[in-house]
Amino acid sequence: MATKVLIADDEMHILRAAEFKLKRSGFDVTCVEDGQEAWEAIQVERPDILITDFHMPRMDGLMLCRTVRSNESTATLPIIMLTAKGFDLSGDDGTSELGIAAVLAKPFSPRGLVQCIQEVLETGTYVPNVATF
């Protein structure tokens, strides 16, 4: 059974590229365009991993992560943050305490995204290639 990935991003072309690559890599992909929609999809789809943008309408990435962690049924869901904020996230903005497994900076490599998902699912963590940042 294919690994279920939920991707939340308000940029359609990012969603399309990630969806295309992940599907071709054998993942079962669901795309949503904001945090609220993502939370609703998580409860229905029960994904194995969540990939979320930081800035999104209605509910942003951090709020989505807090919502996921505060709910018992989704508290252990692995999360990867895909964001254009990049280095800003290295600061103390709550990403570590929310148990975010990896932060991928935009512009991102679809190949790197697949590798990241696999590592997070296998080890729970992901050490990015320095060049990625």
Interacting residues toward another protein by CB under 8 A? 10-14, 16-18, 20-21, 24, 33-34, 55, 57-58, 84-86, 88, 105-111
> Cα separation of 128 and 133, whole Å?
8
30-34-35-36 Cα dihedral, nearest 10 degrees: -90
CA 30 from chain center: how many Å? 12
- Report, in Å, the least distance between residue 78 CB and another protein: 22
- Report, in Å, the least distance between residue 111 CB and another protein: 6
| CB of 22 or CB of 101, closer to another protein | 22
- For every residue of 28-45, DSSP letters joined together read EEEEESSHHHHHHHHHHH
> Cα separation of 30 and 94, whole Å?
26
- Report, in Å, the least distance between residue 20 CB and another protein: 7
- Report, in Å, the least distance between residue 33 CB and another protein: 5
| CB of 99 or CB of 110, closer to another protein | 110
| CB of 34 or CB of 48, closer to another protein | 34
